[in-house]
Amino acid sequence: MKKLLSLLALCLLALSSFVLRTASPGYQVGDKAADFKLKNVDGKLVSLADNKAAKGYIVVFTCNTCPYAKAYEQRIMDLNTKYAPQGYPVVAINPNDPAVVPGDAFAEMQKRAKEKKYAFPYLQDESQEIAKQYGATRTPHLYVLSRKGADFVVSYIGAIDDNSEDAKLVKTKYLENAMTDIMAGKPATVNSTKAIGCTIKWKKA
């Protein structure tokens, strides 16, 4: 009986890892990004469709607590300073479950945005649906979207640059290189990069 149970458990495990692997990996470059309605730190709901003038967006899944997100915080702010005037503002989304990391609670997000004077929305993905839809797995995880008619198309996925520890030692600015291509109406030469980050703190099932 015990043997049967452990066999059953193993079968279940094999099945669940199988399901994990075949789960939708989220967006690939070229996919249409679905719009969302998420709560900003000012209490208002924000959607991609709100900003009629936007040529696109730099969507970044980030948070308050991850050391890598913190290491990149200034660089994310700088991206907004540089690209918002050119029609590609930053939209930051925090997908972490505050039950797992209290430091990512909505009130903490508000505090952070105020302290650092974020000039871009900082949204809470409370249901984690948007992170899942995009296929975000870590913080920070970036997606550049460009407007094509009524839609937004994913044009770049991945990292900001090649050195998380020290912005001064960066040799390749992956995201900026992609932006140069995208703003010239060309597909990004390097449209997808990998980076280390903190795993998104998913809700405990």
Partner 1 sequence: MSKLLVLALATLLLALPGRAQQVAVIKLPELQKRLSRPNDTTYVVNFWATWCAPCVKELPHFEQLSRAYAGQKVKVLLVSTDYVSQLEKKVKPFVAKRGLKSEVVLLNETDPNSWMDKVDTQWSGALPFTLMLNNKRQKRATFEKEFTQPELTAALQQFLK
- For the four alpha carbons of 40, 43, 45 and 51, in that order, the dihedral sign comes to negative
Other CB atoms within 10 Å distance of the CB of residue 176: 15
For partner 1, what does the binding mask look like between residues 116 and 145, x meaning CB under 8 A?
Answer: ---------------------xx--x----
Q: Does 199 bind partner 1 (CB under 8 A)?
A: yes
| 3-state SS assignment for residue 94 | strand
In the complex with partner 1, which residue's Cβ is closer, 50 or 162? 162
Q: Least CB distance from residue 29 to partner 1, whole Å?
A: 14
Sheet architecture: strand order including 141-148: 32-33, 151-158, 141-148, 56-61, 90-94, 122-124, 38-40, 45-46
| CB 64, CB 112: distance < 8 Å | yes
Residues binding partner 1: number (CB under 8 A): 29
| 3-state SS assignment for residue 201 | coil
Residue from 2, 165, 168, 185 touching partner 1 (CB under 8 A): that is 165
In the complex with partner 1, which residue's Cβ is closer, 46 or 66? 66
Q: Give residues in contact with partner 1 (CB under 8 A).
A: 9-10, 13-14, 17, 20, 67, 101, 137-138, 141, 158-159, 162-163, 165, 169, 171-172, 174, 193-201
